[in-house]
Structure 1
Amino acid sequence: MENKSKKVTRREFLGVSALGLAGLTILPSWKVNGVRIAPSDRITLGFIGLGRQGISDFHAFSQCPGVQVLAGSDVDSIKCDRFKKVVTEWQEKNKLPIKCDTYEFYEDLLERKDIDAISIATPDHWHALTAIHACQSGKDVYCQKPLSYTISESLSIVKAAEKHKRVFQVGSQQRSSPEFQKAVSLVRDGKIGHIEKVYVRIGEPPKPFDLPEMPVPSNLNFRLWLGPLNDPNVHYHPNICPPIAPPDYQEKGDWAAWRYYRETGNGFTGDWGAHHFDIAQWALGLDGTGPIEYIPAGYNGTKYTTLNYANGIVMTEQPFREDRPDDKGIQFIGTNGWIKVARGYIECSDPSLLKKSEKEIEAGAFEISAPHMQDFLNCVRSRQNPIAPVEAGCSTNILCCLINIATELNRPVKWDPVTHSFGDDKEAQSHRLYWYDYRNPYKLPYWDK
């Protein structure tokens, strides 16, 4: 059972006190992956959320020189055990002298002054509190996409990162992939003319929670997994918290299904939309803003969900490849041609535009295995903005939330991306994806509805 008194005390502390800027920890020099790391270049990491994505993120960070992992936190004790085993094996291989600790309560991890940065891979409804509290405790943050479950949470995270001057990278790793960077550069350079339409294929919105209730396993603190969620209809089912077991600790089957239900996630709209809408807005130079009108599919004969921008660009959620209509990706349509891009795939109406420049060929000789994580670590050292800054993650997540709001209301929704408001649309303003009451004792910092 959740230790309520402990949670309230630590949360109250984090809500009123910033622990100060965490300097890079000074430790003896050692080698990681064959590269000798100077003490001043080393970055110490803690991980919050140790499931399938958390382990994947650890493996990516472990390929980056200058990283030491000190701790992890999860509400599932078996996932904590797996994380410690995996990290310890990596540390022993690289002869790293510092042990890895694990915690049930992430606040215990954040209290450690020897940790420089936090990697967050919890379910989306926990992103806001863990990210904000990490910022308050002086940690830089790498947070998986989508940035949060609701609009208010994303806006609050931005305030926290700005207030505490944190480097904040969103896990929209497609920004660090060459095919997407090539597409973005071609669009921005006007190689296909003025952009008029954009097709983005992401998949279906979330559905109502309909899983039967099942007994909670002893290794899982499900009340703590729920955290701020305040919906009595949400109960335990292994699909939303996939079990793992020793000795192989493998998560088998699909990804955790919490993302596919309205009460716990934003469906493919939030899951893949956080990737492809992010790239689309980045290419259009619209980071930090977004569409002003959202029209759901099916409304008055509208075939595809349609997003209208103030500058006249129209973006629709529809197939971007006729030959493979279910593939997720993007098509930019300009006055002089088109570009189609997806993971590992790029095609252009003018194939000559895809010929690599000398600069791109030279850059390819220095490819690294985890460029998105490496970009974050570089920015932790330089204090510059990363390639996927928190403001971009916020605007992309707002876009995805607004699609789902319009879909659930079954009518168009208008939005002011400057004031972050619905005008006089009180029904949209009261939607749970804009803001909802957290379950006691949880509170959302930096938010005043």
Structure 2
Amino acid sequence: MSSTPQNRREFLGSALGAAGFAMSLPALTYQHAFCADTPPSESIRMASIGVGGQGKSNLKAFLKRVVAVCDVDSKRLAEAADTVKKANGDCGAEKEYRRLLDRKDIDAVIVSTPDHWHALPTIDACLAGKDVYCEKPLTLTIAEGQAMVKAARQTNRIVQTGSQQRSDDRFRQACELVRNGVLGKIHTVKVGIPKVNFSGPAVADSDAPAELDYDLWLGPAPKRPYNSKRVHYLFRFFWDYSGGQMTNFGAHHLDIAQWGLGMDESGPIAVEAKAKFHPQKWYEVPEHFEAIYTYAGGIKLICSQSLPGGTEFIGEKGSIFVTRGKITGTPEELLKAKLPADATKLYVSKNHHQNFLDCIRSRKLPICDVAIGHRSATVCHLGNIAIRLGRAIQWDPKTETIVGDSDAAAWVARPYRAPWKLPELKSV
């Protein structure tokens, strides 16, 4: 991506001021976003794609606005449709997400599918004129993120990444203190994520259950026999579909590291990693790993399953640790530091889902815009590439390319299984 944060904001600002942009919106979205006599909070209509696991939580959060649901598991689909019908009186239900995108009465979609199914629904939704709330990690590969950013910018869509920690006061407080020099110069960041929670042992391949369209569940992923320990929640421990705890919780805590370091439009310049894998190969991702990232200026970021879960910023004057429900300072008075009037203030969101709805109306970028989600997912992917190759890699965050290693550079993208393919889109 060649655009800078200033360029993107200038682009969106000028687009918002142009009548052509307003007229490019679908009719319902234009009316809902700009007509004063139609309360936007009541009129935004949504479809939920993927309604198991985190999809249930997202469905609940947006329930009053959902008019249709989609899932390749017929049991999950029926359960979600029943939930919506009880709340709203009616609900469309589809196995194939593209059928929902054809509906003119849907303004936005929620993508809560397995990771390998994030990119295509998001891009297709943007091209169909829908805004998107997409779960983290945003992508399976770096190339997917680049394409998603292009699609959102090309179509002027609002795309929120489901990294909800950005909408928590504690995480914002920690990052504001760091960004305003309360710790002095930062030299180290430590990110702790959970150990693998795979429910073993492994089982033999079998026929897929009747309620699951397994070929559609695979989608762009390689064709493999069905195995009950590779689908639903456990998909995240196999490379075809996800990236283990690195992308699962790393997408949360590494995202906060990026925010605190002011790297939302950039990233590390190098990463090296070491890992060990399950001795019986129940799953493919590391059983345990440590990745060490280097940022410009010599800052080291250590991500490991041996560290306390959360993000710790360490500087000349002390440290700040933040995790869900907790923020601590060493010394404690660091948390009480008063920032000057001209201090850097970060984006304030009290509710991640509501922020998405607010941005549908205002057309402002959400707190975890697609470009931010892409950059944070990129940090996760770079760590996994170093783990899988077993060697250090160099990254150019400006050109978003792996430098001096053609074998490693090939891991930025993965081929899709036919007939699925990642669209080729123009940069904006």
Q: TM-score range by the shorter chain?
A: 0.7 to 0.9
Cα gap change, 1:196 to 1:25, in 2 (>3 Å): closer
String of CA shifts for 1:219-254, please: whole Å, max 9, x gaps: 110000000012x4x332223334xxxxxxxxxxxx
Give the drift of 1:416.
0.8
Cα gap change, 1:285 to 1:121, in 2 (>3 Å): same
In structure 1, what residue type is equivalent to 2:59?
A: F
Query: 2:132 matched to 1:148?
Result: no
Query: 2:316 matched to 1:315?
Result: no
In structure 1, what residue type is equivalent to 2:405?
A: D
Query: 2:252 matched to 1:285?
Result: no
Counterpart secondary structure, 2:267: coil
Equivalent position of 2:209 in the other structure: 217
Give the drift of 1:339.
0.3
Give the drift of 1:355.
4.7
Of 398, 401, 407, 1:418 maps to 398
String of CA shifts for 1:158-217, please: whole Å, max 9, x gaps: 11001001011000000001111111111112111111100001246899x965212211
Equivalent position of 2:58 in the other structure: 57
Equivalent position of 1:76 in the other structure: 73
Give me the whole-angstrom Cα distance separating, in 1, the residues matched to 2:404 and 2:77. Answer: 47
Of 259, 262, 273, 2:239 maps to 262
Equivalent position of 1:389 in the other structure: 369
**1:181-330 mapped onto 2 (5 Å cutoff):** 181-203=172-194, 212-230=204-222, 232=223, 234-242=224-232, 256-297=233-274, 304-318=290-304, 325=306, 327-330=308-311
Query: 2:22 matched to 1:22?
Result: no
Query: 2:338 matched to 1:337?
Result: no
Give the drift of 1:261.
1.4
Answer yes or no: is the 8 Å Cα contact 1:204–1:267 preserved in 2. Answer: no
Give the drift of 1:24.
3.8
Cα gap change, 1:150 to 1:435, in 2 (>3 Å): same
Equivalent position of 1:48 in the other structure: 49
Give me the whole-angstrom Cα distance separating, in 2, the residues matched to 1:357 and 1:334. Answer: 18
Give the drift of 1:89.
2.0
Answer yes or no: is the 8 Å Cα contact 1:70–1:101 preserved in 2. Answer: yes
In structure 2, what residue type is equivalent to 1:143?
A: C
Give the drift of 1:283.
1.0
Answer yes or no: is the 8 Å Cα contact 1:45–1:119 preserved in 2. Answer: yes
Answer yes or no: is the 8 Å Cα contact 1:206–1:259 preserved in 2. Answer: no
Answer yes or no: is the 8 Å Cα contact 1:330–1:341 preserved in 2. Answer: yes
Q: CA RMSD in A?
A: 2.8
Counterpart secondary structure, 2:104: coil
Give me the whole-angstrom Cα distance separating, in 1, the residues matched to 2:57 and 2:73. Answer: 17
In structure 1, what residue type is equivalent to 2:416?
A: Y
Give me the whole-angstrom Cα distance separating, in 2, the residues matched to 1:318 and 1:52. Answer: 25
String of CA shifts for 1:285-306, please: whole Å, max 9, x gaps: 100211111111279xxx9421
Give the drift of 1:87.
1.3
- Pick which of 183-192 and 371-380 moved more: 183-192
String of CA shifts for 1:42-88, please: whole Å, max 9, x gaps: 211111111111111011224xxxx5211011111111111011112
Cα gap change, 1:20 to 1:229, in 2 (>3 Å): farther
Of 352, 372, 375, 2:333 maps to 352
Give the drift of 1:426.
1.1
**Ranges in structure 2 where 5+ consecutive residues have no aligned partner:** 1-22, 277-288, 340-347
Aligned length: 377
In structure 2, what residue type is equivalent to 1:440?
A: A
**1:391-410 mapped onto 2 (5 Å cutoff):** 391-410=371-390
Answer yes or no: is the 8 Å Cα contact 2:255–2:376 preserved in 1. Answer: yes
Query: 2:414 matched to 1:436?
Result: yes
- Pick which of 421-430 and 102-111 moved more: 421-430
Counterpart secondary structure, 1:415: strand
Give the drift of 1:263.
2.3
Give the drift of 1:21.
2.1
Query: 2:121 matched to 1:138?
Result: no
Give me the whole-angstrom Cα distance separating, in 1, the residues matched to 2:186 and 2:30. Answer: 50
Equivalent position of 1:376 in the other structure: 356
Give me the whole-angstrom Cα distance separating, in 2, the residues matched to 1:164 and 1:206. Answer: 39
In structure 1, what residue type is equivalent to 2:382?
A: L
In structure 1, what residue type is equivalent to 2:392?
A: P
**1:80-119 mapped onto 2 (5 Å cutoff):** 80-91=77-88, 99-119=90-110
Answer yes or no: is the 8 Å Cα contact 1:144–1:171 preserved in 2. Answer: yes
String of CA shifts for 1:103-149, please: whole Å, max 9, x gaps: 01100000011111111000000111000000000001100001110
In structure 2, what residue type is equivalent to 1:159?
A: K
Answer yes or no: is the 8 Å Cα contact 2:246–2:384 preserved in 1. Answer: yes
Answer yes or no: is the 8 Å Cα contact 1:204–1:269 preserved in 2. Answer: no
Give me the whole-angstrom Cα distance separating, in 2, the residues matched to 1:424 and 1:351. Answer: 44
Cα gap change, 1:40 to 1:447, in 2 (>3 Å): closer
Give me the whole-angstrom Cα distance separating, in 1, the residues matched to 2:27 and 2:298. Answer: 46
Give me the whole-angstrom Cα distance separating, in 2, the residues matched to 1:447 and 1:108. Answer: 22
Give the drift of 1:352.
3.0
String of CA shifts for 1:316-341, please: whole Å, max 9, x gaps: 1147xxxxx56411110011110011
